[in-house]
């Protein structure tokens, strides 16, 4: 059974009654297998959050179907299987971390003893056991994201849905959230998260899907989505003679100076081989000679027709 399945899902809306209707989702067909980490990707306005709101019951589709573990999302009971963290989770500022989890457990009709035990387990799980008595108003963005994941897990759901969980985090915060997501999979949960932080998706996802203008452009393992052919060759060297360095910078597809070394990317294997031979013959140190396939950023550029600048505007972790 798929954890999530949608068929021809459509969502149209009006901002005001006099405004023309806009289509956020336009015949979305999506499948997420049980037990996998699925990265749901797309530029701002592609329909990622709209999809999530339909899955968790905050929006209703205009037409089409959506199910969670075979149960229609129109059925209130389907939400018992879902743990949800929105992009900007809200917490009562004067509650402590432990009190916040106790509150969310009470919303799930958990007995008090179970709430206390589960809350302590989750604070340990997300690395906030030492902050259990700290009020939420003192939490950093990264700490809020982690307590947001904890509240989504309070009732032991089978499916965890996270909307932009790495949005606005610094590198340490992103690493902590990535580790938490990987831990969820090890515990047998399905994780569905939207993101425009491409590096994080490459690091942790089993499969990914690209949403473009409300339709699923492609979905599958990254090894299948990314082109393996036409590989580039990465070359790095130190102590290059100045004339050879100038020559290689001129013939490489791209290049950069990194500290005391030089870094080159060649789009032709013969050019890369020739460069490596010249580096060795010159007496310089060849530090790297590595084939490199297509990156997720390049896949997005190829699939969406966007420029590198346009992709960079939403692939580095900025808010929607």
The low-confidence residues of the chain, meaning pLDDT below 70, are 226-231, 292-320
For the chain, residues classed under CATH 3.30.70 are 232-292
Which helix (H) or strand (E) segment is 43 a member of?
A: none
Quick one: residue 79, left, alpha or beta (phi over 0 = left, psi -120 to 50 = alpha)? alpha
Output the pLDDT for position 68: 96
- What is the length of the chain? 320
Q: Nearest CA to 158 among 277, 63, 69?
A: 69
Rounded-to-integer distance, Cα 134 and Cα 98, Å = 8
Output the pLDDT for position 196: 72
Work out the angle at residue 35's Cα, subtended by the Cα atoms of residues 30 and 67, and round it to the nearest 5 degrees: 40
Please give the order of strands across the beta sheet that includes 71-72: 22-33, 2-13, 63-68, 71-72
Output the pLDDT for position 28: 94
Work out the angle at residue 94's Cα, subtended by the Cα atoms of residues 88 and 95, and round it to the nearest 5 degrees: 80
Instruction: Output the pTM of the full model.
Output: 0.75
Output the pLDDT for position 312: 47
Output the pLDDT for position 87: 86
Give the CATH architecture of domain 2-219: 3-Layer(aba) Sandwich (3.40)
Does the domain made of 232-292 have the CATH classification 3.30.70?
Answer: yes
Output the pLDDT for position 279: 93
For the chain, residues classed under CATH 3.40.50.300 are 2-219
Residue 169 burial class via C-beta count within 10 angstroms: exposed 0-12, middle 13-18, buried 19 and up: buried
Contact residues for 58 (Cβ-Cβ < 8 A; gap 6+): none
Output the pLDDT for position 306: 60
Output the pLDDT for position 319: 34
Quick one: residue 109, left, alpha or beta (phi over 0 = left, psi -120 to 50 = alpha)? left
Output the pLDDT for position 300: 67
């Amino acid at each position: 059974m798929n954890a999530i399945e949608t068929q021809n899902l459509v969502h149209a809306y009006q901002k005001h009654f006099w405004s023309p209707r806009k289509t956020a989702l336009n015949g979305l067909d999506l499948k997420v297998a049980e037990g996998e980490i699925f990265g749901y990707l797309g530029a701002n306005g592609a329909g990622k959050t709209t999809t999530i709101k339909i899955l968790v019951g905050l929006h209703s589709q205009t037409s089409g179907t959506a199910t969670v573990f075979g149960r229609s999302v129109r059925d209130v009971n389907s939400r018992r299987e879902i743990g949800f963290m929105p992009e900007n989770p809200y917490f009562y500022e004067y509650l402590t971390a432990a009190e916040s989890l106790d509150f969310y457990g009470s919303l799930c009709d958990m007995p008090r003893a179970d709430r206390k035990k589960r809350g302590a387990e989750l604070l340990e799980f997300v690395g906030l056991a030492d902050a259990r008595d700290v009020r939420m108003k003192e939490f950093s963005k990264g700490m809020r994201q982690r307590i947001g994941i904890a509240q989504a897990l309070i009732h032991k759901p089978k499916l965890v849905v996270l909307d932009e969980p790495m949005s606005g985090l610094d590198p340490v915060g992103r690493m902590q959230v990535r580790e938490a997501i990987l831990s969820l999979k090890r515990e047998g949960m399905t994780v569905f998260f939207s993101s425009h932080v491409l590096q994080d998706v490459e690091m942790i996802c089993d499969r990914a899907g690209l949403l473009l203008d409300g339709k699923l452009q492609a979905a599958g393992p990254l090894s299948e989505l990314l082109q393996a052919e036409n590989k580039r060759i990465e070359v790095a060297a130190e102590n290059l003679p100045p004339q050879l360095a100038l020559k290689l910078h001129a013939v490489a597809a791209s290049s950069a100076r990194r500290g005391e070394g030089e870094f080159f990317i060649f789009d032709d294997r013969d050019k890369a081989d020739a460069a490596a031979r010249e580096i060795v013959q010159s007496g310089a140190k060849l530090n790297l000679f590595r084939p490199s396939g297509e990156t997720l950023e390049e896949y997005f550029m190829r699939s969406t027709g966007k420029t590198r600048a346009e992709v960079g505007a939403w692939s580095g972790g900025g808010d929607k």
